[in-house]
Amino acid sequence: MIQQIAQLLGMYALPIFIAFVVVVLALIFLFWRLFEAHYRRLWEWGSRIRHFITHLPPTQWLRQRYPRIWSFLGRRLLPREYLGLHLMLGLLIIVTMLNFFGEIADSVTESEGIAHFDLALANSMYQNVSATAITIFRGITWLGNPELITVIVVMVGAMLLAGRYWYLLAGWIIIPAGGGLLNTTLKAIFQRNRPELPNPFVVEMSWSFPSGHAMGSLITYGMLAYVLVVFLERRWDRPVIAATVTLVLLIGFSRMYLGVHYFSDVVAGYAAGTAWLTTGITGIETARRYRSHRRSLKPVIPRNSQYYHSR
């Protein structure tokens, strides 16, 4: 059954992928609009839930028995403490993505269902490619090459250095570099061979799991989107997010279409990349907001690049 599904997906891989991208973008903007429309109501619900939890008997016991722990948790669960909420949300995403990556890695290592699906899908896609699509995706996959990623990091880093945006500069350098090191380490740990196809469209010599292009493009272009959202006006947020999501998905799909990665390689690359990118952005936001909090008791709105400028 799994192989039949994989073969069917491989036969119509391109139209299915296009439909998938459209659905993903639609869902992102739908949840975005719902969040903006019900922002205040969500905070009110959160406040009510917090009030209910804080008056439960076990919570009251914790408050009296461990006042320091209560004080720590209380500061991070208060709706007005955005810094703590941001940190908690970041940790939630990180843990979820790491767990997801672990599940994929276990399945690949033990050659379970996902491994059979990978092989069947790779063979089916290879048998149903078109020459025009191969040419297009060779160009798209180049956008995720380490050489181009390095050039982008250097160019944007130079602009941030010239503007003396120290927090962003540190994150911009550490996050892509750390992501590259993490991907190399993971490849060395799992040592999964790439798909073995006759007359491959692209030849790669490194290990396959997780996909370096998928992981690297998500980290670098995701970080670039974060930087642009910080500096640009709010009306540019959605175009930037849409372009970034589309580009990252295209690069990941190109690796499968060209036969140099399995499906699980790309998905695992996205999971690991999301965890690492979230770690970096959470660190930047935490450091920046903590610094701003010490300067002023007023809440900080992350729409002004002056907060990043050294004063």
Q: Where are the domains of the chain?
A: 81-308
What percent of the chain clears pLDDT 90, i.e. is strictly above it? Answer: 39
- Could you list the active site residues? 213, 261
CA proximity to 298, closest of 43, 83, 48, 76: 83
- Arithmetic mean of pLDDT, 138-167: 91
Q: Kindly report, residue by residue over 198-225, the tens digit of the pLDDT.
A: 877 887 888 889 999 999 999 999 999 9
Q: Kindly report, residue by residue over 267-285, the tens digit of the pLDDT.
A: 999 999 999 999 998 888 7
From 44-53, 167-176, 189-198, 208-217, the region with the lowest mean pLDDT: 44-53
- Arithmetic mean of pLDDT, 258-271: 93
Q: Which amino acid is located at 179 in the chain?
A: G
Q: Does residue 235 surpass a pLDDT of 90? A: no
CA proximity to 214, closest of 243, 255, 186: 255
pLDDT of residue 212: 92
- Arithmetic mean of pLDDT, 19-40: 84
**Sorting pLDDT into bands at 50, 70 and 90, what band is 305?**
very low
CA proximity to 160, closest of 289, 311, 309, 291: 309
Q: Does residue 24 surpass a pLDDT of 70? A: yes
Q: Which amino acid is located at 253 in the chain?
A: F
Contact 116, 262 (CB under 8 A): no
